[in-house]
Structure 1
Amino acid sequence: MRESGAVLNALADPRRRAILRLVRDVERPAGHIAAHFPDVTGPAISQHLRVLREAGLIVERRSGTRRLYRARPEALRELRAWLRDFWDEALDDLKQAAEDQNDAEGATREHQ
């Protein structure tokens, strides 16, 4: 995955997650994206799009005067793989800690 910190930071904001959902399957112009957030200013939407783009989660394409955005499916696959590896490792560590604790408790009982 590109830079996991940048990706996770980009996804930490609920509006950016909503934007990513909007462009997950369909390329959309910036104006269409902004229309989904009437309470957010245009510059704020542009900032959200920039953060997503810099994190590698979306790509921008110009068509005349319009800017079109779509998700990068490979970035989402990379994120899914990173999360799977993260949780596999964390769960393996938890399992080992539980087994170690169980072994230690068993040894204590044997010496009593």
Structure 2
Amino acid sequence: MTISSWLCTNSTKNMLIKIVHPGGHVELHDRPVSAAEIMLRNPRCIVAYPHVFQQPWAIVAPDTTLMLGQKYYVVPVSTIRKLQRLSIKNSPSPMNENQSEQP
């Protein structure tokens, strides 16, 4: 890849919003768009940051403007709830830690 191709490719990526839908469909936007617009077109879904699958509370507020050069995921609400339940279930409980410290 030549330097000019690399520069063109990288600058193009920074000028688009990449929205990944369930099933892998990718939607590209060349202007800022609100999360609410995406959610209106995708009922029962939430716009989330890429690390949502590790941190299930990493969701985008509806009034947030999605930024050029960033990637976001459209995730069903049911999936978010499952991820959050699993995260709570698998996190160490402060109650359990306190009980193990007692003599």
* Bigger Cα Rg: 1
Coarse TM-score class (shorter-chain normalised): 0.3 to 0.5
Q: TM-score, normalised by structure 2?
A: 0.33
Q: TM-score, normalised by structure 1?
A: 0.31
Please identify which structure carries the higher helix content.
1
Please identify which structure carries the higher strand content.
2
